[in-house]
Amino acid sequence: MYIAQAFKGLHEWWRYIIGILIIFLAVVIGQMPFTLAVLFKTVSDGGNAFGMTEAQMMTVLEPNLNLFLMLLSFAAGLVGVFIVAKYLHKQSIVSLTTARDKIDWKRFWFAFILWGFVSTSFIFLDYFLSPEDYVLNFKLVPFIILCVIAIALIPLQTSFEEYLFRGYLMQGMGVITKNKWVPLLTTSVVFGLLHIANPEVKQLGYIVMVYYIGTGLFLGIATLMDEGLELALGFHAANNLFTALLVTADWTALQTHSVFKDTSLPGAAGFMDVFMPVFVIFPVVLFVFSKKYNWNNWKEKLFGTVEAPIIESENITNN
């Protein structure tokens, strides 16, 4: 059982409190180059560096430099998660990733290729249905630089989020609460709420939080049903990577030298923006996963109890 992998390490509740603080500190340290660069550029241009919103900070630097510096904080956070797991919890990266004996990279690549194909298809479909909403944004040299940055760092960004929410926090809350539904729902809601400062929320309205929380729930279900992070890691990496390379907009968090730029200004998010992915597309993807990997016993895997392995209980008794 995936959550029970935490029992292989030190899992007292206070270790998770300290671990979260260390991970947060790692993210802050990783964000310092971006913050300093934005402040320096703003002051150099004669602007006011104080009181800037996150959306305003995203537009100060050249897009490729902005993306590189922004993603450093996530890379630092991922290092923080691994350090906390290894030294504070004495837990291996494998047991933080999966209940299998080793990480199944075939699962990662299946989810990555599947969602890469699906998400790319939706982008091109929307382009052909509404070409007036797009302009060609392609410039060879900036795009090549974007590819290098995105391929190197976006998987680290998405892996940090997966290891933190579907890995570290889900396992930690599971061994503390002794059930699965509390960590599943809690990590999904927190994952969604941490996106509330994104410029997409301001443009589309708070209804878009249904998409963020729904995405967290989808990834959490995939993790628990498959007893590992591999599918979630592949899906999330493909989602962010192909989006960054193919399309950008003035009102999105990722400002890149992508192939296309969406010039439309959507109002309140509608069915296609929010509800269709969460209530139609994601369930279909889960169905595909379930058939390929023979998922069963959904009730137990999503709502069952979390118990320490018998071997550990015997050791405690003997001691």
The pLDDT value recorded for residue 274 is: 84
Number of domains in the chain: 1
Length of the chain: 319
Q: Give the whole-angstrom CA distance, residue 288 versus residue 94.
A: 25
Cβ proximity of 184 and 220 under 8 Å: yes
**DSSP structure string for the chain:** --GGGGGGS---HHHHHHHHHHHHHHHHHHHHHHHHHHHHHHHHTT---TT--HHHHTTTS-HHHHHHHHHHHHHHHHHHHHHIIIIIS---HHHHHBSSSS--HHHHHHHHHHHHHHHHHHHHHHHHH-GGGEEE---HHHHHHHHHHHHHHHHHHHHHHIIIIIIIIHHHHHHHHSBSHHHHHHHHHHHHHTTTTSHHHHHH-GGGHHHHHHHHHHHHHHHHHHTBSHHHHHHHHHHHHHHHHHEEETTSS-----SEEE-----S--IIIIIHIIIIIHHHHHHHHHHHHT---HHHHHH-B----HHHHHHHHH-
CA dihedral 54, 60, 62, 68 (to 10 degrees): -30
pTM over 0.95: no
- Is 80 part of a structural domain of the chain? no
The pLDDT value recorded for residue 309 is: 79
Q: Which range marks the domain in which residue 289 is found?
A: 99-318
- Is 218 part of a structural domain of the chain? yes
- Is 283 part of a structural domain of the chain? yes
- Is 175 part of a structural domain of the chain? yes
**pLDDT, block means (10 residues), the chain with 319 residues:** 95 97 98 93 78 71 94 97 98 97 98 97 93 94 97 98 98 96 97 88 85 97 98 98 93 88 71 85 98 97 89 44
The pLDDT value recorded for residue 315 is: 46
- Is 223 part of a structural domain of the chain? yes
- Is 26 part of a structural domain of the chain? no
The pLDDT value recorded for residue 54 is: 67
Cβ proximity of 55 and 91 under 8 Å: no
- Is 252 part of a structural domain of the chain? yes
- Is 263 part of a structural domain of the chain? yes
The pLDDT value recorded for residue 43 is: 83
